[in-house]
Amino acid sequence: MPELLTIGCRGDNVLALTDFLNERGYNVEPTSWFTEQVEAAVIAFQRANDLVADGIVGNKTRAALSRKQRDHSKLLKHSDLVAAANILDVPLAAIMAVNSVESRGKGFLDDGRAIILYERHIMRRRLKTNGVEDSVIGLAESHWPGLVNKQTGGYQGGKAEHARLELACEIHRPSALESCSWGQFQIMGYHWKTLGYHSIEHFVSCMAESEAGQLNAFIEFIRRKPRLHNALKAQNWATFARYYNGPAYAKNRYDAKLEAAFTKYSKVHS
């Protein structure tokens, strides 16, 4: 199957999905079209297994259906999202929408390490903030422009981001860890103190523990930014997207995507 199957998809992968659902006791008509009936069966299966009940078949749902998932301990559970909605005092559908649109969909690489994205321009700023001498920063910038730079870029993705981080840690470990976005909700490391963590090392260890730990960082990020929190409470998606994604949110239609997802999940989780 492809990485994601959702309503409207067609093909043999959908037919295989309906076979899996029928084997698990969810009676659906064998079909190669991902219909509303198939989506309802997927949601029912996800709810029964405390998976995120979004009706989307990704790696986690597929593994659970095929019974190949060996360790569920690190995975985000539907009950985690319910708890987040209660803490933030917002509808579950609002948390579901943010999880669907704003998260990476998973918090860990296949090898078990937290997903990260290393930002070389943030590294330069953090070195200055952490008191590293300008001469040292200049030397690092000239010798390792892929790791320290005024400009964004240099991304390699996946496991290669950890390789970049390891090299950056040799320059200045705290600054390097602070210069990554961590986990499913892409929370930057330099927020560690604002979010109530004891140190950047404490923050990183929590991000490495579970997707629920990554969700906790997201909850604190929202709680400690009143404009963002109020926008989520009011489902003011343009304001939420502006503060969460930055001024380019409209270009990527994050507000429209959040609103559509909220409408969808409001019907499913009323």
pLDDT confidence band for 73 (50 / 70 / 90): confident
CA dihedral 118, 121, 124, 127 (to 10 degrees): -50
> What percentage of the chain reaches a pLDDT higher than 70?
96
Q: What value does the CA radius of gyration of the chain take, rounded to a whole number of Å? A: 20
- φ/ψ bin of 182: left (φ > 0), alpha (ψ from -120 to 50), beta (otherwise): beta
Sign of torsion, CA 60 209 212 246? negative
Alpha helices in the chain (DSSP H): 12-23, 36-48, 59-66, 78-88, 92-102, 120-129, 134-143, 159-178, 200-209, 211-223, 226-234, 237-245, 254-268
The CA distances from residue 109 to 17, 170, 200, in Å, are 24, 23, 21
Backbone angles phi, psi at 208, to 5 degrees: -85, -10
Which amino acid, one-letter code, is at 234? A
pLDDT > 70? residue 270: no
pLDDT of residue 1: 43
The topology (CATH level 3) of 1-72 is: Muramoyl-pentapeptide Carboxypeptidase; domain 1 (1.10.101)
What does the block give as tokens for 126? 């953090």
* pLDDT tens digits along 97-146: 999 898 877 899 988 899 999 999 999 999 999 999 999 999 999 999 99
pLDDT of residue 256: 95
Residues of each domain in the chain carrying CATH 1.10.101.10: 1-72
Calpha distance 84→88 (Å, rounded):
6
Q: Is 4:59 a contact under the CB 8 Å cutoff?
A: no
Please classify residue 169 by burial: count the beta carbons closer than 10 Å to its beta carbon, then call 0-12 exposed, 13-18 middle and 19+ buried: middle
Which amino acid, one-letter code, is at 263? T
- The residues, ordered by sequence, that sit 6+ positions from 181 with a Cβ below 8 Å of its Cβ are 116, 117, 119, 187, 188, 189
pLDDT confidence band for 226 (50 / 70 / 90): very high
